[in-house]
Chain A
Amino acid sequence: MSISIVLLPCTGRIEEAVLLRAFEKGADGVMVIGCLEGDCHYVNGNIRARARVGRVAGILETIGFGPERVRMYNLSAGEGAAFARFTGEFVDQVQTLGPSPINLARGQQNQESTEEVAAT
């Protein structure tokens, strides 16, 4: 499973729409990693991010993607090992869930078109 890392100055910049867009672009899961709570350079960016992640989880649940595909973690910049551990944990979680419904649908469509080509 591949992971794309998107750097932002603060998780407070992450709107719900950005997270949803990632799923539209084909992500099976999105983890948001912010600073430790209480340590935000912009006071409460990471607190806001947590609320937004929660709202996106709600949306994903409503449309049948499952709320577990998005998750917020808090880390300080020096915790490389913890970063690796969290990432591994999240990847495992997403792998258990499998491809997102949209990726499944896209995959099926490709298959159908292949079959169509084969029929002609």
Chain B
Amino acid sequence: MKSGSNLERVLAAGQFAVTAECGPPRGADPEKVLKKAEFVKGNVDACNVTDNQTSVVRMSSLAGCLLVRQSGTEPLLQMVVRDRNRIALQSDLLGASALGVRNLLCLSGDHQKFGDDPQAKNVFDIDSIQLIHLVKTMRDDGVFPSGEKLDGAPKFFIGCAVNPFADPFEIRVPRFKLKADAGADFVQTQCIYNMDTFTRYMEEAKKMGLHERVKILAGVTPLKSVGMAKFMNKMVAGIDIPEPVIKRLADEPKEKQAAKGIEMCIEQIQQLKEMEGIAGVHVMAIEWEEKLNEIIGGAGLLPRPVVDEGETER
């Protein structure tokens, strides 16, 4: 075991893993996190806590992780390289590991232009792929990237994100390979709506054997309405919602669209579960955490397995 995290154990045992995410609040109220975490509890193997997503200032990811754990769910720390140089990154990694956080997702982070503080200085000292390498070096070699020996190596199950729908398509799998080469243990994908493109992506990834090196968790987000679908398709870079998907929602009367969105999400999870090389799903129910149980249960993925350390030693 590299980290001993629950997520790592579930995946190592060959179980189909489930993760979700919690966005920390725009304030210091811990109850907000605990409330969201209640919806997550029991439905997932680990729960991502986002790191100032879209550059909007929120409670820190590490604090959110501790609150999520307090409520009984294993946290997964998201860390972006937008706001911290390599000194702060290393320091926060050591701190997170010391506090018992065992899952990590290495990201570049949305440009600060999108958030509250577009005038902020951006850091990008190293990029997300170099962050993967940095964590792996610290974990496996027990040294800082500078070469100095660590007084106790951090333990992380190292994750990364990929977006099969961003451009150029031809570089998406090679870029995934770079993340595998850098040391990623698992990957969570951007929300998938275009299954054709994703299937092509997976074919390429499998040709390179990436599914054998990195556990692939397919990202899904239930659509609440046609409006949401159209908005995401148009406004969010790297989201591709094909017309037939939008049409299926549009064919429903307004009040039934949310239920349809959940039904479609469940259907999609079941499809993904049958795909070779998919090790789990990452369910991003954006501001809709209360539906996680319905979605994950509906997909037949409950209860979540309990895997002891011993069962994975093979």
User: Do any beta carbons of A and B sit within 8 angstroms of each other in the complex?
Assistant: no
